[in-house]
């Protein structure tokens, strides 16, 4: 499978616990994005990497959230001290470098439920 891979697919955690999600982008895609999608809404941009550099963070990404892409390949999104409002689908996407408006390919997402 050469698509964007996200793990785990589902995560249930107790409020206050830390969780970490992983995203493996399509090979050779140097751009990687994280989005959050709540029920009945469209995805909302969280953050963007070009190679290992995190170039932009949304104000939706509070201090409890941190994303890394240490070697410019896979990325992790960590949420510390989870709250019930963090329950959502976390989507990762990747795209090729270069040309404007290149297609972003999304993974299947990690569904987080905070109880």
Partner 1 sequence: QQQVKQSPQSLIVQKGGISIINCAYENTAFDYFPWYQQFPGKGPALLIAIRPDVSEKKEGRFTISFNKSAKQFSLHIMDSQPGDSATYFCAADSGGSNYKLTFGKGTLLTVNP
Give yes or no for a contact between 46 and 36, defined as CB atoms under 8 angstroms apart: yes
User: Positive or negative CA dihedral for 102, 107, 108, 109?
Assistant: negative
Residue 109 touches partner 1, criterion: CB under 8 A: yes
Among 30, 48, 69, 82, binds partner 1 (CB under 8 A): 48
- Write out the two tokens for 33: 């994005």
Residue 84 touches partner 1, criterion: CB under 8 A: no
Residues 6+ apart with CB under 8 A from 39: none
Residue 113 touches partner 1, criterion: CB under 8 A: no
User: Smaller CB distance to partner 1: residue 45 or 74?
Assistant: 45
Among 7, 24, 72, 104, binds partner 1 (CB under 8 A): 104
User: Smaller CB distance to partner 1: residue 63 or 103?
Assistant: 103
Q: Which residues pair with 103 in a beta bridge?
A: none
62 C-beta neighbours (distance < 10 Å), count: 11
User: Smaller CB distance to partner 1: residue 44 or 68?
Assistant: 44
Residue 25 touches partner 1, criterion: CB under 8 A: no
Give yes or no for a contact between 71 and 85, defined as CB atoms under 8 angstroms apart: no
- Write out the two tokens for 25: 């982008």
Catalog residues that contact partner 1 under the rule CB under 8 A.
4, 31, 33, 35, 40-45, 48, 55-56, 91, 93, 95, 100-109
């Amino acid at each position: 499978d050469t698509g964007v891979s996200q793990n785990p697919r589902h995560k249930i955690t107790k409020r206050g616990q830390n969780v970490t999600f992983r995203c493996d982008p399509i090979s050779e895609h140097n751009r990687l994005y994280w989005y959050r999608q709540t029920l009945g809404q469209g995805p909302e941009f969280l953050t963007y990497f070009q190679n290992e550099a995190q170039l932009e963070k949304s104000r939706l990404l509070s201090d409890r959230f941190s994303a890394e892409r240490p070697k410019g390949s896979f990325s992790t999104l960590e949420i510390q001290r989870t709250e019930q409002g963090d329950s959502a689908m976390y989507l990762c996407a990747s795209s090729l470098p270069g040309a404007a408006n290149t297609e972003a390919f999304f993974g299947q997402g990690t569904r987080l439920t905070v109880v």
